[in-house]
Amino acid sequence: MSTRQLAMVIDLNKCIGCQTCTLACKSQWTDRGGREFMYWNHVETKPGKGYPRDWEAAGGGWDNDSLKPGKLPRLAEDYGIPADFNYEAALFEPGDQPLRPLDAMQWGPNWEEDQGAGEFPNGYFFYLPRLCNHCTKPACLAACPRQAIYKREQDGIVLIDQERCRGYRYCVAACPYKKIYFNPLAGKSEKCIFCYPRVEKGIPQACAYQCVGRARHVSYLDDTEGAAHQLVNVWKVALPLHAEYGTQPNVYYVPPLSPPTFDADGRPTGKPRIPDNYLVQLFGPGVEAALATLQQEIAHKEKGEASALMDLLIAYRHGDMFRLTPQREGAA
Amino acid sequence: MNKLILLLLFVLPPFALASPEALQAAGRLLQGVHTEEAPPLSPDDPAWARAPEARLKLYPQHSIAPGMEATSTLPVEVRILANAGQLAIRLTWRDASEDRVDAHATHRFADAAAVQFPVDTAAGLPYIGMGGPHQPVSLWFWRAGGKSERLAANGFGTLAPAPGPVPEVQALRTAEGWRLVLRGPLPGAADPLVLALAVWDGAEQGRDGRKHLSPWYAVRLPGLTPDMALYRRLAEEDRTTGNAERGRQLVAAHGCAGCHELPGSGANALAPSLLLAGGIHWPGYLRRSVADPSGFIVPGERYRLSEGVSLMPKETWVPESLEDLVAYLMTLR
């Protein structure tokens, strides 16, 4: 465990699935050198198999203090090959060839976009941005027989020492979020670095900073003025993803509210489209209280009353969402 | 003259006189062959016919996790040729599937092999599993479809690239498996050379500790000056005089299976598994380990109470009992 922990809160009510975060990350870190298939940050549609395919059934994480076995995702079948497209033929040659991948694709980072679940008129889906959780009890770190993975004391960022990594991939199997990727060209494993070179300069992570929906807050968990502390510990509306995996993740999610279902006569039932029990599967037992708090605070705003929570989530000023160099509690 | 020989026979234990032969009889000596020209790199080179073939048994690495099931051993045929400066080792083993480094796969592992050399044998043989903190080892490593590497280690998890010439390799994929030649500068200039082997099977997710390994072997290199002191040390390392059955009873009486995996005990992660201890260790190492568990602790956090203090309590053994224990452990293979 590190002295301090930098945490991210993602408000799923504001995520529009535009993948600006995904591209901000990709163009910064993973656009070459065997990383083409990797998405250190991606946005998947839930419910769905996600990326890599069926990661929630791929094992890893903790069973009390023992590591659970996990699978290694396959490049073509589970991540998806980074296909080239027939740009030349489609864009510059005569005829009307459609733009298509040159290789048959089996999967990709957002293969099931907007598919979701449920029957008309009660279909539902929401977007789930995912990145390394920079866990407090990282299974990847524990699984590495070479101690190539470390958690930084000053901010809790989990990193792979590329000099020490020999590509054994025990970490890939151990991470229950499947957010460590083996680079088959380099022969080493790589992962989200929480943009530590930016963080060290006081600049937020590319995924958070570029988010057009102002859905991502970043602050240290012990910074009582920070959004992470406020949303996680005070309002308790930001919840970890699959806490039962046991790694104590440090990316938190504000669960999505949804419009009511319709009954056979087309009348709203008052029950949310996204079933509570599905959200509980993802975000744990705190979901109901979190959604109730959100609804109550929305109601305040609707009546023209003040709501500190809504003001925080609305994020009137972009800069207010990030506190990367705060004073520690009690410090001068 | 006869008197002198008689005196020597009386004063010195017999192994001191005939050390290479003693090691040979114990199956711990491989015969290298001296070549005038550079030893060959091609696995098919006719020169290999001049070197006798030794058939070694490699054991699944089962001592510590992550390792392999202690089920099947792997026979590896070894031939060794050397001149004054260069050493070439040819390894032949069965491997049903050809697994090469694949730049388009994230879940596959490549077949691999390595030769391990002790850096210094003055203090005895290093721990077989990547040496130890004060007893480094150097390695030649080959991975199918990848680059060969020169590596160094001083304990589990410490493997790192080492400066110096990278070994040359040539691998031949046959219908049955691999025939591999590794060639590099002779590590050390004396006879015998000491080495150990490891082989990884990509199809079995082989990497790191998921390998088959040999115990240390001495290699007779006729062209070089014999280091009789080293031969004597190795013969001493190989000494067993105890009674294995009495050793087995001692192991049962002392509850060693409370921490170590032993035949019939089931898995136990508190201490290194001893299921194949006799296959991969020499008696000398086992004797030192039992007599002074903190003298050398198998690298790994969980085996120590604190820095330099083994989880295993130190007991004062009657010398005969210690020998019986060693004799029993040597039967575990």
For residues B251 and B318, state if they share a domain: yes
Q: Is the predicted pLDDT of residue A35 greater than 80, yes or no?
A: yes
Per-residue pLDDT at B269: 82
Mean pLDDT score across all residues of chain A: 96
Confidence of residue A13 (pLDDT cuts 50, 70, 90): very high
Q: Which residues of B151-168 are buried (b: 16+ CB within 10 A; e: fewer)?
A: bbbbbbbbbeeeeeeebe
What is each CA distance from B174 to A213, B76, B96, B171, in whole angstroms? Answer: 59, 14, 10, 9
Q: Which residues of A211-232 are buried (b: 16+ CB within 10 A; e: fewer)?
A: bebbbbbbbbbbbeebbbbbbb
What is each CA distance from B328 to B23, B245, B272, B279, B283, in whole angstroms? Answer: 20, 7, 16, 12, 10
Over residues B302-330, the pLDDT tens digits come to: 788 888 889 998 989 999 999 999 999 99
Residue A32 contacts B where some CB pair is shorter than 8 Å: no
Confidence of residue B7 (pLDDT cuts 50, 70, 90): very low
From A165's Cα to the closest Cα of chain B, the distance in A is 10
Per-residue pLDDT at B1: 46
A4 by Cβ neighbours in 10 Å (0-12 / 13-18 / 19+) ranks as middle
pTM of model > 0.80: yes
Residue B6 within any structural domain of the chain: no
- Please tell me which residue of chain B has the smallest CA distance to A73: B107
The structural domains of chain A, with segments of one domain joined by +, span: 6-83+107-323
CB contact under 8 A, B104 and A73: no
Backbone angles phi, psi at A59, to 5 degrees: 80, -165
Estimate to the nearest angstrom the gap between the alpha carbon of B11 and the chain centroid.
32
For residues B145 and B34, state if they share a domain: yes
Q: Is the predicted pLDDT of residue B167 greater than 50, yes or no?
A: yes
CB contact under 8 A, A181 and B156: no
Q: CA angle, B310 as apex, B304 and B312 as ends, to 5°?
A: 115
Residue B4 within any structural domain of the chain: no
Average pLDDT over residues A214-243: 98
For residues B74 and B212, state if they share a domain: yes
Closest listed residue to residue B271, CA positions, set B244, B248, B297: B297
CB contact under 8 A, A147 and B146: no
For the beta carbon of residue B232, count every other beta carbon within 10 angstroms. 17
Residue B5 within any structural domain of the chain: no
For residues B303 and B280, state if they share a domain: yes
β pairing state of A180-183 and A188-191? antiparallel
Dist. CA A118–CA A121, nearest whole Å: 8
From B167's Cα to the closest Cα of chain A, the distance in A is 19
Chain B hits for A145, CB-CB cut-off 8 Å, are: 66, 156-157, 208-209
Range of the domain at B262: 244-330
Per-residue pLDDT at B190: 83
B192: alpha, beta or left? (left if phi > 0; alpha if psi -120 to 50): beta
Q: Which residues of B touch A (CB under 8 A)?
A: 66, 101-107, 146, 156-157, 159-160, 207-209
Residue B311 within any structural domain of the chain: yes
Confidence of residue B15 (pLDDT cuts 50, 70, 90): very low
Over residues A308-323, the pLDDT tens digits come to: 999 999 999 999 999 9
ipTM over 0.85: yes
Place of tokens 């005196």: B7
For residues B23 and B143, state if they share a domain: yes
CB contact under 8 A, B66 and A170: yes
- Assess contact for A82 and A76: CB atoms under 8 A: no
The count of structural domains within chain B is 2
Per-residue pLDDT at B18: 54
CB contact under 8 A, B103 and A182: no
DSSP A101: B
Q: Is the predicted pLDDT of residue B133 greater than 60, yes or no?
A: yes
Instruction: List the single residue in A73, A145, A147 with the smallest CB-CB distance to B106.
Output: A73
Per-residue pLDDT at A289: 98
Residue B160 within any structural domain of the chain: yes
For residues B157 and B208, state if they share a domain: yes
Dist. CA B243–CA B240, nearest whole Å: 9
From A72's Cα to the closest Cα of chain B, the distance in A is 5
Q: Which of B236, B258, B290 is where one domain is finished? A: B236
For the beta carbon of residue A22, count every other beta carbon within 10 angstroms. 23
DSSP A89: I
Average pLDDT over residues B135-156: 96
For residues B153 and B279, state if they share a domain: no
Residue A147 contacts B where some CB pair is shorter than 8 Å: yes
Q: Which of B197, B219, B236 is where one domain is finished? A: B236
> Within 13 A of A203's CA, how many CA atoms are on the CB side?
9
- Please tell me which residue of chain A has the smallest CA distance to B66: A145
Average pLDDT over residues B241-253: 96
Over residues A181-191, the pLDDT tens digits come to: 999 999 999 99
Q: How large a percentage of chain B has pLDDT more than 70?
A: 94
DSSP A230: I
Confidence of residue B14 (pLDDT cuts 50, 70, 90): very low
From A69's Cα to the closest Cα of chain B, the distance in A is 11
Chain B hits for A170, CB-CB cut-off 8 Å, are: 66, 208
For residues B195 and B63, state if they share a domain: yes
CB contact under 8 A, A72 and B107: yes
- Please tell me which residue of chain A has the smallest CA distance to B104: A184
Average pLDDT over residues A137-149: 96
Closest listed residue to residue A274, CA positions, set A124, A112, A134: A124
Q: What is the CATH number of domain A6-83+107-323?
A: 3.30.70.20
What is each CA distance from B26 to B51, B234, B277, B290, in whole angstroms? Answer: 20, 11, 16, 22
Average pLDDT over residues B98-122: 96
For residues B44 and B151, state if they share a domain: yes
DSSP B52: P
For residues B257 and B130, state if they share a domain: no
**Torsion angle of alpha carbons A172, A178, A179, A180, nearest 10°?**
10
> Residue B271 is part of a domain; what is its CATH number?
1.10.760
Residues 6+ apart with CB under 8 A from B48: B40, B79, B81, B90
Chain B hits for A169, CB-CB cut-off 8 Å, are: 207
From A189's Cα to the closest Cα of chain B, the distance in A is 10
Chain A hits for B159, CB-CB cut-off 8 Å, are: 146, 166
From B208's Cα to the closest Cα of chain A, the distance in A is 7
For residues B220 and B264, state if they share a domain: no
Residue B265 within any structural domain of the chain: yes
For residues B250 and B226, state if they share a domain: no
CB contact under 8 A, A145 and B157: yes
Cα end-to-end span (Å), chain A: 25
Over residues B171-185, the pLDDT tens digits come to: 999 999 999 999 999
Q: Which of B184, B203, B236 is where one domain is finished? A: B236
> Residue B21 is part of a domain; what is its CATH number?
2.60.40.1190
Token pair for A308: 């500190």
